[in-house]
Structure 1
Amino acid sequence: MSIELDGSVRHEVVVDLPQEEAFRAFTDMDRIKPREHNMLAVPIEQTVLEQHVGGDVYDRGIDGSRCRWGRVLTFNPPAVLAFSWDIGPDWQVTSNLTRTSEVEVTFTPDGPDRTTVVLVHRHLEHHGEGWQGMRDGVDVDDGWPLYLARYQAFTAEEAPS
C-alpha cells in the first residue's frame, strides 16, 4: 500500500515525455479512466476533464447521459492539476460537496524528455463513515495504480522514438 501517515494515498510514475506533454496527456482522461469504472446505467462513451478551474470531470454515456464525479480545483499547466473526488464510500456520486476529497497530480521535469508524475488523493476522511474502505479501494491495483498504468501506456505511445 502507499498510504501516507495523514491517510492520503500516493502513487508516482515516470513518463518519457517533456513536462508539457505529460500534463496534456494526463488531462485526456478518456484515454486513462477504465470504462468498467462506471456509475451510469449505460456504457461510457467518453470521459471528459474540462480544462479550467470550475470545470467538471464527468462520464458521458452512449445515450448522452452524464455522470459528474469531480470538479476541477486547480488547472495550472504544465505543473499541477487537482480535482475533487465526489464519489462517496458507497461508490456513488455525492451531492454533499462537504463530503468530497481531492486528487492532486503534479508534473516535475526529470530531464528534458522525462517527467515524474505524482498523484496524491487526500482528505479522504471528509467522506465520513466508511472512508477507510474507500481509501483502501483507490489504493489497490484496480484503483489509482490502474489509472497510472494506463497513463504510462498512453504516454509510451506518444513518446518520440
Structure 2
Amino acid sequence: MAEEIILNWTDPNSVRKRIHVRAPQQVAWQVFTEQMGTWWPLAVYKIGKANAVDAVIEPRVGGRWYERGDDGSTCDWGRVLVWEPHSRLVLSWDINADFQYDPKLQTEIEIKFIAEKDGSTRVELEHRRLDRFGERREEMRNVFDKTGDWGKLLVSFAQTAEASAKG
C-alpha cells in the first residue's frame, strides 16, 4: 500500500509532500491528470453547488482545472501553467480561503513524476505561494498540510494508480 513520505519543510509559504507509487511513470501521470475524478474525494472537496461528479485537467498550458457537477455545471479551480507529460505539471490553485474561485489568487501546485529504477514512480508535490492568502496564510497552510492534507490526497491517488498498473 502506498504511504506518504513526510518532508521536513519550514518555508511558511509552501507545503511539500512526496509519495512512492508502485506504478510506472506514465500510469502515474495518466491517473493524476486524466482520472482525477476517480481518486479525488469529490463528495467533500468541491466548491460548486451541484454534486461533483468529476475533476478535470485540460491537457495543455492554459487549460482549465475544474470540477463538473451532476447538472453539467463547472466550477474552475485553476489553470494549467506547465504541461510536461509524463514528468511535470504545474497548476494554479485559484480557490481562496473561503473556498471560492478567485482567478487573481494564483497559488501554485507543482507535481513531479520521477521514474525510479524499479519501475515505480516518486511523486513530489509542492503547493507554494501561500503568502497570497495574506492574513489567512497559516490557516490555509495548515489545511493543505494537515486537515485537508495533500498527503492524504496523494495516498488516494497512489492507491488508484497502483490498482490501475495491476490492470
State the TM-score, normalized to the length of structure 1: 0.91
What does residue 94 of structure 2 align with?
86
Task: Please point out which of 142, 147, 156 is paired with 1:136.
Answer: 142
Q: Deviations over 1:29-66 (max 9, x none)?
A: 11222111111112102111111110001011111111
**In 2 relative to 1, CA 77–11 (structure 1 residues): closer, same or farther, beyond 3 Å?**
same
What does residue 3 of structure 2 align with?
none
Unaligned runs of 5+ in 1: none
Check conservation: 2:61, 2:83, Cα contact below 8 A: yes
Check conservation: 1:31, 1:150, Cα contact below 8 A: no
Unaligned runs of 5+ in 2: 1-5
Measured in 1, the distance between the counterparts of 2:7 and 2:94 equals: 21
Shift of residue 10, structure 1, vs aligned partner: 0.6
Query: Which amino acid is 2:153 matched to?
Result: Y
3-state SS, counterpart of residue 21 of structure 1: helix
Of Structure 1 and Structure 2, the greater helix share is in 2
- Count of residue pairs the alignment pairs up: 159
Q: CA RMSD in A?
A: 1.7
What does residue 9 of structure 2 align with?
4
Residues 121-130 or 72-81, more deviating: 121-130
Measured in 2, the distance between the counterparts of 1:102 and 1:34 equals: 20
Q: Which runs of 4+ in 1 moved over 4 A?
A: none
Task: Please point out which of 106, 123, 127 is paired with 2:129.
Answer: 123
State the TM-score, normalized to the length of structure 2: 0.88
Shift of residue 119, structure 1, vs aligned partner: 0.5
Check conservation: 2:27, 2:165, Cα contact below 8 A: no
What does residue 39 of structure 1 align with?
47
Shift of residue 89, structure 1, vs aligned partner: 1.5
Aligned pairs for 1:91-130 (under 5 A) are: 91-95=99-103, 97=104, 99-130=105-136
Shift of residue 2, structure 1, vs aligned partner: 4.9
Query: Which amino acid is 1:114 matched to?
Result: S
